[in-house]
Amino acid sequence: MTPSDGRGSETRERIIEAALETLRQDGFAEASARAIAARGSFNQALIFYHFGSVANLLFEAFSQRSEDQVRRYRAAAADVATLSDLVGIARELHAEDTASGHVTAVVQLMAAAHDPQQSRALLDRFEEWIAIVEDALRRATADTPVASVVPYRQGAYAIAAMFLGIELLARLDPERSEAGDVFDMMAGVARLIEQLGPLVAQAMPQR
């Protein structure tokens, strides 16, 4: 489609980088071709040459990074054995995002989406994230009573949604974000479930 489909083009990469940075720092509303070009110190016209439109650029930028991250987190999730591990990954992902702003960018794109086609594309991508959480959740609760109570799919959906909400709030005022405290709390709950598991399991049949 694009003139330089040699993928790894030097400039393409620079443009994508600037686009994500703009999305993260200034938000979607401010992510104009001119603003992005200014941030990356390149010519505004390059965006249209390489990506056709700003909307296209933003989506491609997200799409490419998502692919990378999905690969990485799928690997990390494969090592999850306990609920504590799962919370640990979430905490790590959030910490990374504070620096890279990738999830923040996703939230921006989701909130700004208006054409149904793009909305669906975003949801399809997000589906991969949910699947990773679901997979980790399944493995983490294999031998706990949670397994028979919380449907994995919905549990994963809820966790993923919560993560989006946290990133949404964190961008408003990083200083005031309580993400760290929330992860601490969840870590505590995870530990408790792990410890109480056997006991509850014993009690469950009476239910």
Site residues (CB under 7 A) for DNA? Answer: 3-4, 6, 9-11, 30, 32-35, 42-46, 48-50, 52-55
Distance CA 83, CA 34 (A): 45
Closest to DNA by CB, 15 or 77: 15
Q: What angle do CA 97, 43, 24 make, to 5 degrees?
A: 15
- Residue 174 interacting entry, from DNA, its own copies, none, C-beta within 5 to 8 Å by type: none
Q: Are the C-beta atoms of 55 and 32 separated by less than 8 Å?
A: no
Judged on CB neighbours under 10 Å (0-12, 13-18, 19+), 194 is: middle
Q: Going by C-beta distance under 8 Å and a sequence separation of 6 or more, which residues neighbour residue 35?
A: 22, 26
Chain centroid, CA 116 distance in Å = 21
Minimum distance of DNA from residue 104's CB (angstroms): 19
Note the residues at the interface with its own copies (CB under 8 A): 26-30, 107-108, 110-114, 116, 119-120, 122-123, 126, 149-151, 153-155, 157-158, 160-166, 168-169, 172-173, 176, 178, 181-182, 184-186, 188-189, 192, 195-196, 199-200, 203-204, 207
Whether the Cβ atoms of residue 102 and residue 69 lie closer than 8 Å to each other = yes
Q: Least distance from C-beta 17 to DNA, angstroms?
A: 14
User: Please, which residue, 53 or 148, has the CB nearer to DNA?
Assistant: 53
Question: Min. distance of Cβ 48 from DNA in angstroms?
Answer: 4
